Amino acid sequence: MTNKYLLKKLNYLLYKFKNLEKYRKLKLPLSSFSDIKTIPFSTRDDLRDFNLSDAPVLPFNITATSGSTKSKLIVCHSLNCYRVHLKRQIKIYNSIDIKKGDCCLNLCSYSFNGAAKIMETAFKQMGVTVIPLGEISDENKLNEAIYIIDKLKPNIINSYVNQVYDIFIKVKQKHNIQKCILNGEPLVKNFKNLIERISGAKVYNNYGSMEFSGFAIAQNPKDAYLRLFEDGLFIEVLKENGKADIVGKGKIIVTDLTNYSMPFIRYILGDEVDIKLINNKRVIKIFGRGDNYILLHGEVESKKAIIETLLRLLGHPNFSLVIYKDRLTYKDKIILNIYAECKNLMNLKNIVKKYLPFITNIRIPHQRILRTSTGKFRHFVDLR
């Protein structure tokens, strides 16, 4: 995407929303690529305040961001925007050699805040057979997925991270699955290696959002950096110094150049990333949400680092941390719930305390692990 073409697309987008107070001070058209830096950033609050009656084009597709963020946002896509998203999704799947005649078990959510429908449409347009089971929410659904894998023999799973673990820990390598496309939260290396070792399948990290659909995927299962697919998008990084650039570490900023139903213009998505330029192509590594850090006993801790440590110590992802304030001492209490069998609990407690000393207690409850509304693991439950 040349700077000249990008500037033309941005000017047209800004003209569409020039009636909004946020963009009234801009002198249009922007005359140079550097003028992009004068465009103000947008956040979720800006989008919540947006009145659909001010939209230049009525929406074709309406969805929502995940309720697991506790701040659900309704998202509208115009028809042309939806078509661009769909073409980009097809391009992403083509890049990892998904082809006509493949069969995909789609375990992504078909709910209002799920992306399964556009994924299914992309697969079908490629000539891929889709089994639309949806997210695994309980033991019955898990058994149904295992039955389908045995009888219908799909060779691809499109899923969230935890669901493939639940499946493969039971079926091991008795299946026809060759590729797993994993969406949602970034897949930590230990967990990815665990899934590949148990299943024998290749695991591809796929990255996107409900606001913009998919826009990055690992070209090789071993890749730490994903290839960016920017068709219809302009992607930047907001660095710690408050300046934006097309490469570097910081918060990802995305502009949807084709959505005239909602002004996703320099929208701060919330994920911490690192974008590099390799062989004249941009690649991205996702560290997690901007709220990846948590305060425990007055110390700032990385949620991702805690999850990675527990995955390494426990050897499985069936755990959650429940955090609350002690009513008498008003100090943080952190309980580790392990939703799996444990032969030597005392020994495990000693090992966990050695690496994660802030954990107060370890329990093995009888109920299943807590999940979000779309079926993903809920590793942190902060009740403070």
Q: Strand ranges (DSSP E) for the chain?
A: 61-64, 74-77, 103-106, 129-131, 156-160, 179-183, 202-209, 213-217, 226-228, 233-238, 244-245, 248-256, 267-278, 281-289, 293-296, 299-302, 319-325, 332-338, 361-363, 380-382
CATH topology of domain 293-382: GMP Synthetase; Chain A, domain 3 (3.30.300)
Q: With CA atoms as reference, report the closest residue to 174 among 208, 198, 195, 141.
A: 198
What is the per-residue burial (b if ≥16 Cβ within 10 Å, else e) of 83-96?
Answer: ebbbebbbebbeeb
Q: With CA atoms as reference, report the closest residue to 145 among 164, 129, 162.
A: 164
β-strand pairing of 244-245 with 226-228: unpaired
Give the architecture (CATH level 2) of 41-290. 3-Layer(aba) Sandwich (3.40)
How far apart CA 165 and CA 295 sit, in angstroms, is 29
For the chain, give every domain's residue range: 41-290, 293-382
β-strand pairing of 361-363 with 332-338: parallel
Long-range pairs for 26-35: beta carbons < 8 A, 24 or more residues apart: 32/7, 33/3, 33/6, 33/7, 35/7
Beta bridge partners of 131: 105
Angle of the 303-314 helix axis to the 189-199 helix axis, nearest 10: 30
Positions in the chain short of pLDDT 50: 69
Q: What ranges in 53-100 are assigned the alpha helix state H? A: 79-95
Residue 105, Cβ density class (10 Å: 0-12 exposed, 13-18 middle, ≥19 buried): buried
In this structure, are residues 316 and 169 in contact, taking their beta carbons and an 8 Å threshold? yes
pLDDT in tens, 271-301: 889 999 998 899 999 987 666 667 787 677 7
In this structure, are residues 215 and 227 in contact, taking their beta carbons and an 8 Å threshold? no
How far apart CA 209 and CA 225 sit, in angstroms, is 17
Quote the pLDDT of residue 374: 57
Quote the pLDDT of residue 291: 63
Quote the pLDDT of residue 383: 79
